Structure 1
Amino acid sequence: MELFWKHKAFSELTTEELYRILQLRVNIFVNEQQCFYPELDDKDFHCSHLWAEIGHEIIVYARLVPPSFSYPEPSIGRIVTNPSFRGNHYGKSLVEKAITLTYEKHGQTAIQIGAQTYLKKFYGCFGFEQVSEEYLDFGIPHIDMIKP
């Protein structure tokens, strides 16, 4: 199946797109992972939003965060794959596109992420390197990683 990619600033999102994005994020990060944290953190207003759809369903999503909102460097966050489509390497395509878009907007700069520890090898495939000790973020083990 072919993915239809969308990339928009917050102000460009339709109410339906925003609803579907937040629904996927809450379903995964809050419900599936049992992580009760402030999903609505005021960063979305300043970010661009990248996702892919098949039909009318969001398959993968990432939030592209400008420098100084999460880290000194630009960041990619809220990376998520719809559970119905896991195992199809759509997440890999998402991260590749997110890196490319970050470079287009901010130049060939370092990118920092806060990754769930179990995904260290996955992000390592894109050149991200661990730069922190493991820490708990609302009960889930994380590490900070930078793509130099």
Structure 2
Amino acid sequence: MEIEVKNFEELSNKQLYELLQLRSEVFVVEQDCIYQDVDGKDERAIHVLGMEDGKLVAYARCFQAGDYFDEASIGRVLVRENYRKLGYGHEITKASIKAIKTKYKADKIKISAQTYLVIFYESHGFKTKGDRYLEDGIPHIAMVRA
């Protein structure tokens, strides 16, 4: 998988369409969660694209401190369903952490993790913080990497 890191203005129309389509496919359809994915925050984010043979197979978006949380943050982390057993979730997470360090010069990163992924994110240095909560009907917990 090849990684591309782009700000909003660098995304082509095709890339933007593909990432919005994939986010909807995973977070709205697959997880059966009705929510507004196009939330007006993409323009402030950097977008981490995992490409294979010209196709978007993994994705995350990153924010500098203050744009989403008080800390820098990673969100909308996903891997296309038929690519999930290939370690791409780890690759896109590592690339997102690196992008935040490079672009924002930040070491502290906060995420809102779906609770079933706590062990996954702990393997990347994140620690749970606070109590579990529902976000769009799905159990989540805040996690911080310092």
The two structures have a TM-score, normalised by structure 2, of 0.97
Task: Report the counterpart of residue 73 of structure 2 in structure 1.
Answer: 75
- Residues 89-139 of structure 1, C-alpha deviation per residue, up to 9 Å, x if partnerless? 011011111111111122242100000000000000011000120100010
Deviates more, 1:110-119 or 1:57-66: 57-66
Task: Report the counterpart of residue 94 of structure 1 in structure 2.
Answer: 92
Query: After superposition, where does 1:1-148 map in structure 2 within 5 Å?
Result: 3-148=1-146
SS in 2 for 1:76: strand
- Residues 72-104 of structure 1, C-alpha deviation per residue, up to 9 Å, x if partnerless? 011010000000101110110111111111111
Residue identity opposite 2:91 in structure 1? S
Gaps of 5+ in 2: none
- Between the aligned partners of 2:31 and 2:48, the Cα distance in structure 1 is 22
- Between the aligned partners of 1:24 and 1:120, the Cα distance in structure 2 is 23
Residue identity opposite 1:72 in structure 2? D
Identity of aligned residues (%): 36
CA contact (8 A) 2:5 2:99 kept: no
Gaps of 5+ in 1: none
CA RMSD of aligned residues (A): 0.9
The two structures have a TM-score, normalised by structure 1, of 0.95
- Residues 12-42 of structure 1, C-alpha deviation per residue, up to 9 Å, x if partnerless? 1110000000000000000000111110111
